[in-house]
A and B are shown apart, each in its own frame.
Chain A
Amino acid sequence: MEHVTELGEVLGFLRAHPPFSGLAPDALAALGRACRISYYRRGALVIAAGDANRMLSVVRSGAVELRLGGTELNARLGEGECFGYPSLIRAMPAQNEVVALEDTLLYRIEAEAFLKLRAADADFRAFFDTDESARLRRAVARLRSRGALEQDSEETLGAHASIGSLVRRREVVTAAPGTTIAEAARLMAEHDVSTLPIRDGERLVGIITDKDLRRRVLAPGLDTAKPVAQVMTPSPVTIVEDAPVLTALVAMAERHIHHLPVTDASGRLVAVVSSNDILARLGSNSLIIAKEIAAARDDTEVARAAAQLPHAIAGLVGAGVDADHVARYASTIGEGAHRRLLDLGEAALGPPPVDYALVCFGSLARAEQALGSDQDNGFIFGEDYVPERHDGYFEALSRHLCDGLDGAGYRYCPGDIMATNPAYRCTGAQWQARFAHWIASPDPQAVLETTIFFDMRCLAGEARLVEDLRRTVFAQARSNRIFLSFVARAAAATRVPLGFFRNFLLQDDADEGRVFDLKSQAIAPVVDLARVHALANGIEATNTLERLRAAREAGGLDAEAARDLGAAFEFVRDVRFRHQAEQIAQGTAPSNKLDPERLSRFDREHLRDAFKLIRQQLDKLRADFAGGLS
């Protein structure tokens, strides 16, 4: 016999929507019993700002609008979304006015039952966290652990596994620096290793490989009785055992090396990891691309190698690799393509007649490339540069570089920020003069167009030319409050969305669109924020996360803000890479734009958190730097 009965429709609905979907049956039933079902006609007031709210509300059908204090649009919620919990958790009057946007049926759960379950269930509590930052950081952590879980089940890629998990723990075969080359070779043959670390006591001093024996010993006919120290690669790059596999991958791709000695925290050598070990784990062509680009004999080969990048990225993304590593990897490949094309150009044209540097700007300079980036570059010449005598060479070299890059998927810059543009082929002094003009007489439009130049990095040639320019420019920028305020205002002017409502993007003024531009609406604002702080604090780093960290250390950004922005930046970039990987899988060109309809509920809700954190920092920026103008 049944007495008090559960309402199947109520429970069935709750069970289909997070966080209720994760509840045990008895916990769900308890919430179901604590439910009141209410109907609101379109336009009806559900909760007034300042009301003592006693219910967690779940939209069963229809939609509601939340306005902070009854004025500022905060959110629009549709079927399955919850509101009213911050006032329950804080035991404070409601801050938002809630109005039915359509005829709406609400399931309203009594405060007591909600709070009781919240106290008992950690996942439930986490879902209703009123701290967006904590929730977003958990989401980022979950993305990573999800990657780790997926690789366990599918045995694909242990990109987040540590290097230590990849190497077999056994005594590493090593030799002392004084060992003869012949003895070293015998040791390698006996233990069937292709790499031999050279150790002076406990200290790693060098490394020698099969290839070194071929090239440095056999080919030149060197006496094998000589000490191995003469032919080893001294002071090799090492990696600590708890570093992620990805870090090793990036290190190898950057330096075109295939073996990395692995050390423990105390610096003691514990193993040697090879590119094959990593490739076996990654199962992707990620390392091969870097190698192929470096070995390309012409533009076509560079382009062919670079054409594999989208699939390599999709592979890394699919394996749950975090956005920062994916971006650094993509940037490494981009750098390699620039360098190789420049080398090929120099090989065709002969050695450069004067000192010069290839400088890149924007995302590549920040090591934050995604797919579909265009190129932004220029040449900086030393003092000896005479246009009449030398520009012919560099004009030809720039054409070689920029055409090659376009062919390799790094499209011509629509704004013509390329070495092929004579304006961006000039001496350090001329570059300085250009920057000095921007800084001394800023105007809003020029600021928008020139900020990208403040992210600069030397890709090839004389690094000091770029470094001198950067240092001079940053010193000028830092001391010019008016310029800083222009840059800050330009950054703060970005309209970061509020969130999503059904398949629409929700903006400040309730203006809705079907297109969400991840780059301009979510990623660029964080980049801009970090740049303002870098300029204001004389920070050398160009990478956004490094700038945020440095700004925190310099006191320009409080620890919470730096952490929040970092988490927001990571999350929005993760969404972008997953979106791009999906596009690649579908055979469409990777872009930064997506239809909100394609976003999962997890992404929507955490993007909303990320937006909020970014908006808070933009507001703060506006307040902090507006002073330079008034």
Chain B
Amino acid sequence: MLEVLFASRERRLRRRFEQAAALAPPGPLRDFYAAGMPAFDRPIAQIEFAAIDLETDGLDFAASAILEAGIVCGGARGIVAASATRVRFRAAAALSASSVVVHGITDDAAARALPEAEALARLLPLLAGKPLVAHFADIEAGFLDAACRRVFGAPFVAPFVCTMQLENRWFPRPRAADGLRLGKLRAGYRLPAYRAHDGLTDALACAELLLAQIAHHGCAGLTLGDLVRR
């Protein structure tokens, strides 16, 4: 029964993945699609994921800009520190004062960053062929999609693992209003408190949370399809 559901979810995502691939012009996005999409029945022990966190200057996918992407890769056995990457996006316009306060990214630092097309070209190879992990993954999926449409005229499709959704699915319980926030969930797994609102630190924090969730859920028989957001 579950396999059937899996198969249909995987089929739907794969169809979208292939449609997007067909629209992608030669270049970074096409290369990303060329690496393929990992199969849902792949055992958890064999999966290499890329945890990603985007810092943006707003929450509107189309109108707000990505300021920074933090990425760390790893698998069930551990996160690889050497994979840590930070890509800074050059803002089209001056930053709003409020986003400077929140993210600590100044105009000056942003000025040393890459234009959006170059930033994506740097980012996409790191994500190719892997499931992407994010906390409240709708944000990352939405912003990457909007950016790819802007730059390449094609959508961004990938299997996303959302640690917030996973928590609710695997460990449902009544929670406070902010009970699903990254820091709160981490504390529940006895993970250390990290400085928030740094793209790279949040990506690491999210990757560690996924490892903790898998450890507590038990990884016997677990496959990628169990993790991917629904």
Contact = CB atoms under 8 A, between A and B. Distances in A.
A38 interface: yes
A160 to B, nearest CB: 42
Q: Is the interface of B mostly helix, strand, loop or mixed?
A: mixed
A5 B85 contact: yes
Interface in A506-547: none
A602 B194 CA distance: 27
A459 to B, nearest CB: 59
B72 A7 contact: yes
A53 B211 CA distance: 21
Contacts of B78: 36-38, 108
B192 A105 contact: yes
B201 interface: yes
A347 interface: no
Contacts of B212: 39, 41, 103
A7 B84 contact: yes
A232 B189 CA distance: 81
A38 B84 contact: no
B85 A3 contact: yes
Given A2-B88, A5-B200, A7-B200, A33 B114 contact: no
A245 to B, nearest CB: 48
B12 interface: no
Nearest to A11: B81
Contacts of B201: 7-9
Contact of B82 (A4, A38, A60, A102): A4
A275 interface: no
Interface string A1-45: 111111111100100000000000000000011111111110010
B85 A39 contact: no
B84 A6 contact: yes
Given A9-B194, A62-B190, A103-B189, A39 B81 contact: no
A285 interface: no
Given A7-B200, A9-B194, A37 B189 contact: no
Interface residues of A, number: 30
Contact of A9 (B82, B86, B195): B195
B48 to A, nearest CB: 13
Nearest to B212: A39
Contacts of A60: 192
24 contacts: A1-B114, A3-B85, A4-B84, A7-B72, A7-B200, A7-B201, A7-B204, A9-B194, A9-B204, A10-B204, A13-B192, A32-B81, A34-B81, A36-B77, A36-B78, A37-B74, A39-B208, A39-B211, A39-B212, A41-B215, A44-B215, A60-B192, A103-B215, A105-B208
Interface string B170-189: 00000000000000000001
Nearest to A6: B84
B79 interface: yes
Most B CB atoms within 10 A — which of A2, A5, A34, A102? A5
B191 interface: yes
A61 interface: yes
Contacts of A32: 81
Given A36-B79, A37-B81, A39-B208, 13 more contacts: A1-B88, A2-B86, A7-B201, A8-B198, A8-B200, A36-B74, A36-B81, A37-B208, A38-B77, A38-B78, A38-B79, A61-B192, A62-B190
Contacts of B102: none
Contacts of B215: 39-41, 44, 103
Interface string A556-596: 00000000000000000000000000000000000000000
Contacts of A40: 215
Given A9-B201, A39-B211, A61 B81 contact: no
B81 A1 contact: no
B200 A61 contact: no
A35 B72 CA distance: 12
A102 B190 contact: yes
Most B CB atoms within 10 A — which of A103, A104, A108? A103
Given A7-B72, A102-B190, A38 B211 contact: yes
Q: Interface size for chain B: under 10, 10 to 19, 20 to 34, or 35 or more residues?
A: 20 to 34
A108 B112 CA distance: 33
Contacts of B112: 1
Contact of A33 (B82, B85, B204, B207): B82
Contacts of B88: 1-2
Contacts of A36: 74, 77-81
Nearest to A40: B215
Contact of A4 (B85, B113, B195, B207): B85
Interface string A397-441: 000000000000000000000000000000000000000000000
B150 to A, nearest CB: 21
Most A CB atoms within 10 A — which of B79, B81, B201? B81
Contacts, number: 88
A283 B215 CA distance: 61
Nearest to A103: B190
Nearest to B217: A41
A41 B191 CA distance: 11
B197 interface: no
Contacts of A4: 82, 84-85
Interface in B212-226: 212, 215-216
A332 to B, nearest CB: 52
A44 B195 CA distance: 28
Contacts of A10: 81, 204
Contacts of B113: 1
Contact of A105 (B80, B191, B200): B191
Interface in A460-486: none
B87 to A, nearest CB: 8
A2 B68 CA distance: 11
A14 B33 CA distance: 38
A5 B215 CA distance: 27
Contacts of A105: 190-192, 208
Contacts of A62: 190
Contacts of A35: 81-82
A413 to B, nearest CB: 51
Nearest to A109: B81
B86 A5 contact: yes
Nearest to B82: A33
Interface string A119-137: 0000000000000000000
Interface in A147-197: none
Contacts of A33: 81-82
Nearest to B199: A5
Q: Which 10 A-B pairs have the closest CB atoms?
A: A36-B78, A35-B81, A38-B78, A39-B211, A103-B190, A41-B215, A37-B79, A5-B86, A61-B192, A33-B82
Given A37-B79, A41-B216, A44-B215, A5 B84 contact: yes
A39 B215 CA distance: 7
Contacts of B204: 7, 9-10, 37
Nearest to B213: A39
A129 B132 CA distance: 42
Contacts of A39: 189, 191, 208, 211-212, 215
Nearest to B214: A39
A265 B77 CA distance: 64
Contacts of B86: 2, 5
Interface string A66-104: 000000000000000000000000000000000000111
Interface string B75-102: 0011111101111100000000000000
Most A CB atoms within 10 A — which of B80, B88, B112? B80
Contacts of A3: 85
